[in-house]
Structure 1
Amino acid sequence: MDDSKRAIGLLDSGVGGLTVAREIFNLLPGEDIIYYGDTLHLPYGPKKLSEVRSYVKEIITYLKEEKKVKAVVIACNTGSSAALDYVKEKFDIPIFGMIDSAAKKAVKISKNEKIAVIGTEGTIKSQAYQDAIRAESQEAEIFAKACPAFVELVEKGKFSGPEVETTAYSYLESIIKAKADVLILGCTHFPYLMPVLAKVMGKDVSLVNPAQETALEFRKELNMSNLLNKDFVQGKHKFIVSDKSRISKSFLEHGRRFLKLDNLKFEEENIFLALKNRGGNLNNA
């Protein structure tokens, strides 16, 4: 098979990465997409980075060996910060993360060089965004905040309402006082909350959605690598999770509408159980 005709693999800790999938659907409508959400191990944020790295490695192995994908997007900021450099050395297919392109965008559009980033505990503690921003500008003042409750709200299908607004004000108060003029949504779950976050931050603050920046960079790299599928045929999309029971009905209802995916359905494939049955170990898989 022509490599350009193979599917693209996306992975995330749950349903948050579907915000990245949506951007890729829009930019690359002819590409087949296989999405794997590791709902079994959700959330990745509080876990050790070494643990997250092992999950990411196992999922990419599955996508490459079983699904024969031509490239992988780690559509998860925690997964990108924990594993991107590691897995790029382990696999012979292009693998992309979420962080660098968003950091570049933030530095480019900031007027006062005060940049804030919100994410999971793992992403913020990893310093991945902070390092990427500093690589673009040594003068930038960075404000980083872990916002784990946002992930829980999105997974439950709560994208707006009093609970979301109260949580947002609580998390973002210090960033507002610091007068940051750019806010990076450093978790793929957070774009679901963008209207609320924009309201809380105010009209003078620009929100950077890494999903959009990653999709643009991904299309560019596929084209340069001659992996872009140039057939004018609508691509096929498949959604797989490791534990279907952990997807809330509320998310399916609101998520379908947000993502404009009326036919959003998940299949379950617990690749980690298969590994366990083979006597394998995630740490040396």
Structure 2
Amino acid sequence: MEDSKRAIGLLDSGVGGLTVAREIFKLLPEEDIIYYGDTLHLPYGPKDLDLVREYVEKIINYLIYKKKVKAVVIACNTATSAALDYVQNKFEIPIFGMIKSAAAKAVKISNRQKIAVIGTEGTVNSLAYQNAILKFNSRADLYAEACPKFVELVEEGKFDGAEVERTAQNYLLPLKEAKVDSLILGCTHFPYLSPLLAEIMGDDVTLINPAHEMAVEVKDTLTKIELLKKDITGNAEHKFIVSDKSRISRRFLEHGRRFLGLEVLNFKEENIFS
């Protein structure tokens, strides 16, 4: 098969990375997507980063050699922190991570350079976003908050309601008190909660979705190296695969399908770790 006709591979610890897939659908509607969610090992956030890197390497091997993808998007901030540099050096195809483009966007749009990041424990403790932002502006005033409960809520299909609002208020209060002016949603699960997070933070705070910045980077890079699909007359084909189907809630399937704008959201189980 001609390289440009191959699919783009995405990987995440669960269904959160579908927010990245959504942005790629919008920006590159002609491209085929193969999505792999490692629900068997969800969540990645609290896990040792060396272990996360092992999972990521195995999934990328599967996407490249079994599914023949032309590029891989690590649609997970924790996995990007743990493995991006390692896998970019190991594999020859383009591999994209979540952090750099969003950090650049935050510095570009932040009026007072009071920038906050919310993410999993792994992402926040790795300092990946903080270090990336400081490379663009060494004087930026940075704040970070780990929000692990958000991952659980989204995986359960809970995007709003009293429990979600209460959790968000608790996590975001320190950032509101610090009067930040931009907030990076540093976990791919968090854009599902964007309406509520925006309401709590207020009009003076700009939310930055790394998924959108990632999609722009993928389009620009694949255009430059001539890997975008040339024949765009047919419909794109999207495949959604997980390592443990039993861990996807019915509620997520219902809400996630609407969020993603898909008529049907079906997952196939392929446990590549057994």
| TM norm structure 1 | 0.95
Give the C-alpha shift of residue 72 in structure 1: 0.1
Q: Distance in 2 between matches of 1:32 and 1:155?
A: 24
The answer to whether the 8 Å contact 1:27/1:216 transfers is: yes
Q: What is the rounded CA distance, in whole Å, between the counterparts of 1:211 and 1:34 in structure 2?
A: 16
Structure 1 residue 102 and structure 2 residue 139: aligned? no
SS in structure 2 opposite 1:36?
A: strand
Q: Percent identity?
A: 70
Give secondary structure in 2 for the equivalent of 1:22.
Answer: helix
State yes or no: 1:120 paired with 2:107.
Answer: no
Once the two structures are TM-superposed, the CA of residue 162 in structure 1 deviates from its matched residue by: 1.0
Is this contact kept in 2: 1:117–1:143, CA < 8 A? Answer: yes
Counterpart of 1:67 in structure 2 is: 67
Query: Residue 242 in 1 paired to residue 243 in 2?
Result: yes
Which residue is 1:150 aligned to?
Answer: 150
Paired residue total: 273
User: Given that residues 15 and 189 in structure 1 are in contact (C-alpha distance below 8 angstroms), is that contact kept between their aligned partners in structure 2?
Assistant: yes
Contact 1:30–1:230 (Cα < 8 Å) also in 2? no
Q: Which amino acid aligns with 1:172?
A: L
Answer yes or no: is 1:185 the counterpart of 2:185: yes
Cα drift, residue 131 of structure 1: 0.5
Cα distance in structure 2, aligned partners of 1:196 and 1:138: 31
Query: How far is 1:234 from its partner?
Result: 2.0
Q: Give the Cα–Cα distance (whole angstroms) in 2 for the partners of residues 225 and 240 of structure 1.
A: 28
Residue aligning to 1:260:
261
> Separation in 2 of the partners of 1:73 and 1:20?
9
Uncovered stretches (5+) of structure 1, i.e. residues with no partner: 274-285
CA distance in 2, matches of 1:47, 1:223: 35
1:262 Cα offset (Å): 1.9
Query: Amino acid of the residue matched to residue 219 of structure 2?
Result: R
Deviation at 1:230, TM superposition (A): 2.4
SS at structure 1 position matched to 2:215: helix
Partner of 2:195: 195
1:213 aligns with 2:213: yes
Deviation string, structure 1 residues 140-190 (Cα, Å, up to 9, x no partner): 000001000000000000000111111001001000000100000000000
Instruction: State the distance in 1 between where 2:240 and 2:223 align.
Output: 25
The CA RMSD measured in Å over matched residues stands at: 0.5
Deviating above 2 A after TM superposition, structure 1's stretches of 4 or more consecutive aligned residues are none
Counterpart for residue 276 of structure 1: none
1:62-115, Cα deviation, whole Å (9 max, x unpaired)? 000000100000000000010000001111110000000000000001011100
Unaligned runs of 5+ in 2: none
Structure-2 separation of matches of 1:140 and 1:95? 28
**TM-score, normalised by the number of residues in structure 2:** 0.99
Any idea what SS the aligned residue of 2:144 has?
Answer: strand
Partners of 2:208 and 2:22 in 1: how far apart? 16
Following the alignment from structure 1 to structure 2, what is the Cα–Cα distance between the partners of residues 227 and 110? 33
Q: 1:225-269 deviations in whole A, cap 9, x for unaligned?
A: 110112222210000000000000010011111111121100000
Structure 2 SS opposite 1:272: coil
* 3-state SS in 2 of match to 1:265: coil
